[in-house]
Amino acid sequence: MRRTGKLLMAIFFGFNLIFASGCFFTGSQGSGDDNIEASDFTLDPAREYKIEFMMWGAKDEVDNYTALIDKFMDENENITVSITTQDSTQYMSTLTGRLSGTMPDLFYLPEYEFRPWVDSGRLLSISNGFTEEEYSSLWATAVDWYSYNRAKKTLGVSEGSDLYCLPKDIGPWTLMYNVDMVEEMVRNGKLTQGEADLLADSDNALTWKQFTDICVKIQSYFGMEKNNDKFYAIPYYELSSAIWSNNADYFDENAMHSTISSDEFCETIEWLWDLMYTYKVVPKSTGDSAQNMFLARNAAFCWVGPYLTPMYHQQKMNYRLLPVPYNGENADARSTTWIGTLGLAISKSTKSPAAALALMKYLSLNESAQKDFYARGQLIPNLKSMALDTQTFLSEKDDSVALWPQNRSVYCDIVDGFGGDTKAALGKAGGDKIGGKVRPHYHTFENSWLTALNTEIADIYALKDKADIRARLKAYDPKMQSYLDHSNQIAGIIVE
């Protein structure tokens, strides 16, 4: 077996990079056509290929990918892959610095960096290297996320768009709860069986009111009755999950105009304020991490994604997934949380597109590799048919899913985006009430608007009077708009 060459630290450069805002391009660069001929994606068996793959990850993930790439090279003896790893906090600045030199052939690209990179012409379109069968094997959401029309500067699949990345993984982020704690409350008459059944329902999300009422009871029992001043029902609440689950958003469809002063957005911030101050089920601040609070039974709820599966299994946590609550008083609201994803991208400057694409497909689409990844608890399958297979990933008996929570179908339900595919696979009737969206800064050309808004909302949470929230958001709205205008102007888009 050939061993992968690894560069444990990426190359350092003798100059400083400014990348804090998430933007480093000031308009489209390079050719307007990112396509190459389909024949250029065909491996030449008589040629020797040497490519570089750049990634980040904890030791376990790096080891897993090293083993997988060794297997890839065994199956493709004319391709040699070297792996460059970098700490996640330095990854994007290091990758950006390499634009002035030699870029890695294949590399990780977070979804929230996709738009500036693709718009500036730094990525190679892989559209001509794919068959219809390969397209259809992926979750439709993943294909949509990584498609872009550079001429019209529009995200998503549309006429004239190209596919630029494949998902390294797809990471829905949702709530979970400690089953043992809930069962203890039912036994002691502190929570009804009906309320426990609501929590255990994987197909129907709680309303905000139902969730709040349950949190208050949990806080009263584990916090007040047990005299535990470190206990809170939930360590924090995800802003985007709350906003979207009230049919609100940060901006309009094309990220042109701010919508943070809408009634629905304001209602959301008021509810989150209530969780902290009126009901006292969320701490104003904490000296411990959310995960540590959950593991120590100082919280009954916490947030979780697939990549945490091995850790919670190792800790022997008895937990179930929970669709995020929605505002039941808003007829248009649905349970909607965020989905994080890492893309696998090919540099437009690569000299070996065929080898780079072959490795990209292997890491994202190879059935054996995908099964190995989910058996290790690293990700839900990128292959839709595998993720929804009741004989494998959704099986109740297959040993390969021993690490996963029993109702892992919630992850799939979020990813299928109200499409009903998960319910259909499980033979369940009724409409799909659970979905997800890619993180909000995916839609913009730079990310400073989100950092600034989070700072503003943190200050709003500290207001002593909930009645002041709407006025504060309305006053901030012009500043939010200025951030969006700046983001679009970077790419040459003028907001009217």
End-to-end alpha carbon distance in the chain: 60
pLDDT tens track for 101-143 = 999 999 999 999 999 999 999 999 999 999 889 989 999 999 9
Q: pLDDT-derived band of residue 17, with 50, 70 and 90 as boundaries?
A: very low
Residue pointed to by tokens 């809170």: 232
pLDDT tens track for 172-208 = 999 999 999 999 999 999 999 999 999 999 999 999 9
Per-residue tokens: 281 = 């089920």
If 0-12 CB within 10 Å is exposed, 13-18 middle and 19+ buried, where does residue 213 land?
Answer: middle
**CA distances (Å), origin 183, targets 190, 200, 306, 389, 432:** 10, 11, 24, 30, 28
Count the alpha carbons within 13 Å of 7 in the hemisphere toward its beta carbon.
Answer: 15
pLDDT at 9 over 80: no
User: pTM for the complete prediction?
Assistant: 0.92
Per-residue tokens: 66 = 């090293």
Q: pLDDT-derived band of residue 12, with 50, 70 and 90 as boundaries?
A: very low
Q: Where does residue 46 fall: left (phi above 0), alpha (psi -120 to 50 degrees), or beta otherwise?
A: alpha
The mean per-residue pLDDT over the stretch 330-348 comes to 97
Residue pointed to by tokens 């990634």: 55
pLDDT tens track for 344-396 = 999 999 999 999 999 999 999 999 999 999 998 989 999 999 999 999 999 98
Handedness of CA 305, 309, 310, 313 (dihedral sign): positive
Beta strands in 202-326 (DSSP E): 301-304, 319-322
**Cβ–Cβ under 8 Å, residues 166 and 361:** yes
Residue pointed to by tokens 């808003």: 330
Sequence-distant (≥ 6) Cβ neighbours of residue 111 within 8 angstroms: 145, 146, 340, 341, 342, 343, 438, 439, 442
Q: What is the SS3 assignment for 474?
A: helix
